[in-house]
Structure 1
């Protein structure tokens, strides 16, 4: 009776196991993701079985050494998971020597732990609390991939041969799925590579089916013409309308000769019309496909995009045309510098024919004193810097010419320098002209220095007699002060005229001296910070506190005071000239106004006088040296004041603006930055 019950129970267990294996096989077939398929498979197998844990050991190479890794675990209730256990990942084969070699023979290994003879395996399993085990090997493409492990931790178990066989079958099915996965992956990689090479290739295919009158194009055919695959049609007429008519006729005749056996090949070059309207060039070759009866059924045409090659050919033709027709000498050099190509203009410039210089070193013709310069230049252009150089080149008939050269390195696909391209221009006339200009400038500089010294010497020599004349005029006034009034009235205009002319001469000499110093560049800026409020008040007190008609300057200051960085001496010359003019040209009129405005980034100095002004037609000449307006003939002046003001203002990065109206007065505005650069 017990035997019958035991047999029934065994039969029930086998029935459940086979049902679960069936479910596991379904997952292996249905699940697209291999990891999901394996997880669902072992979960389905173990449900309702007398199994505590099921897992997969996968073989992986680690630094070239095969090791086993613990993955895809199923655990019964109350059983602790071993997933992620570092001691079960990267296990060497030697640690499970008896297990590994048995599985390699495609044999299962099972039984109770205490009955196993392999001590290493016993120790490993006992540490996990395992009492009974079963391992079935998994092979993929006839290579050991891993195994499925089944553990019983609660009790020992005698595995039935039927159970072992059934569970070994599921391991084989897993191997089949892995084999299929590897095949699909390999195929996908192959297809991806094929797609990559086809899409990146300049080749395209066109297959014309004579039975259906339809054409199949490879995707690059559309791309070559600027279309997407959705925009092209399989109709033969679609293909025909994109070939130029003259090329279409030749293409058709050649194809007919090929089909009839009159020619051994059908190949050539045609022009196709791009979607954007321009012409592209393709090279074609055809194959004929016949059926078993020898009847032609398909024409396969391969196209190669040679547009880039055509463009290069056209560019080379243009390059040749340009180099042969330009007045510059165009050369190409090998990487050692020897001439590789020389344009035909070589003879006109150097006297040599191109053939006389090919394969010769250019430095054999360069002046010895310029060779070091050439060496430094080559180092510069090798660093991909585009600069020009001038040097002397020996002509065929003797003597040197000056060449101006620019060079560019020629680089191959691996970024290596394989040569140079140079452009040369004969600048001998320009060098000669430059030398003549330099000589003229040197002469002019010496002349200006001589003139400046002469003016300075003359001014100093004249200053003493003028001082004597002025002193004697004053002495006459003193000596005649006790004369009768009639006599004084006769003498005083004469002495006044003498003193006025002396003042005119003194002012003229002073301005000439300053102007001469500026022209000879002897005036140097000495920038320092000044308190401009204090500076302007001292300047007015010093120079304009005692005018001949008793008038004062009306000073107005606005804005927040700021420190001004400037040259104090130059600023004194600028302001004394302007203020002196304001008084001089507005005698017996309203007092001049001096406005100081502190702006955000600059100081503004505005001087307003109500004097005689300047005629409109003469305003354009105001800042010209020695110019005096036509309405100033009776007023002392040198004609240099405003010219000096403009020059000194420019030295201090200032701006000057003048507004004037005859008989109404003049307004001058100056602006200076607070800081000098």
Structure 2
């Protein structure tokens, strides 16, 4: 088979030079990409150095383009995914591969990809990231993110107003900051101790920090640190956020000093205030109570505090009860979730303070509810952004790794087979048997490359929300049998999958394309990983509300340590050496089963076999979205 035929059909631009920089081959995609108005065959023999100088004006930075080409040629080292910007606004990715046989340099291959659309998506993603960062920068609460060594990764404008200092502090810690500001080093030591406490306890911590403003006033900041851990239980980062609670603190002190003016003081506060007696009945609420909870004062006064829809309010009552019995008050502040009168779920920072009226010596408790929903959601959104960036980086890294490995081997096989046939042809020793052998190798490797590209393109469509979901009621048993007949009835080793049906056949709503991919992947894996063993079994069990599809093989099995990553992209079991695969098939299967709102289970033992089970409900998806979106 002529290798040029294959290279003419690949979806990227290819140019092959010899060691004298004479053009040996160029495919049609290259001419199309660079708008070359002549046929590829007419370019063979061109001086590639002169051609590069002629093409340089096409690039935005033409001189840098020529210097970079010289640098690559001098090093003769592979180059992957190098981005180039063109004068007309397009963006290309460039690969370079030197051809070295027996330590002899024979030439090089240049490969170009049109990256314009993907680059625009990347720019859009970066703009979106900047948008969310802008939100975090301007949220009316102090927000800071620390790495595991307590160095700043991010600080918003509320925490540090000065833009230069805010940029300067990234990568530094509180010791650097207090030294820069000329403040007491004990501030940094206290913050470091609190940070270590949060990390050691693996739980959030809240504390009240007292500072002196430039005007000489005392400022109280209610701060919280929350650690976030990866799946492997390793600390990733710590989020700290705080509120200026000086007004609240002053209000609490005024309550203790001037209890008769409690109503006047609390009415001017922006936080909700409730006063309860020793029987936990509400005797007072301020005007902010109604705006926070949605209940009028008349609806709550005289009733137990338990009627407020705050989750775990019993823990607050226990704290107050402990204060009553022990006479000891430590002034803790905690966060609670609550649901207002209209069903909206919000978050409150709650603290309380006991006080007594001198005339009666009766103790009351003022409870302060501060709505911190925005701060809570901001931290949650920040975590989502970080997780999304992490997932995109993992996908990108996995994509580069899988392409560099899975494409290099088949290309080497194709090249060696073509060269062997060329050598045999020159010596008149090329017989039909040799042609068939090497042709089959090339076709097989091209098929593997095609399968890899199809899976990568499918994942790309899924990630961008371009895969439509079109379920309708169908006969699942017939669908399964057609797949087995068309693709697995005449396997080379003669094995055939036995189908066992239990229960009464029932129509199931599913998307044909997705179900075809799910079943083909699971059945194909069952055969592929059990070569030389008895044939796998497929069982359909129609039950009252759902049908289960179970595929059992008796092959190499999956090590227990690999099961948790079975459905992740580019993840393969550690015992599959010598068996082709990309680690993408089951990743797509998980996408498609999730979209059907189905469940998937896997049980396996090494050298005994694997069982994959799917469970589909008999239900309508008429209200489901019609496309996949991985936001």
What is the TM-score when the length of structure 1 is the normalising length?
0.36
Kindly name which structure, 1 or 2, has the bigger radius of gyration based on alpha carbons: 1
What is the TM-score when the length of structure 2 is the normalising length?
0.38
Whose RCO is larger (CA < 8 A, sep 6+)? 2
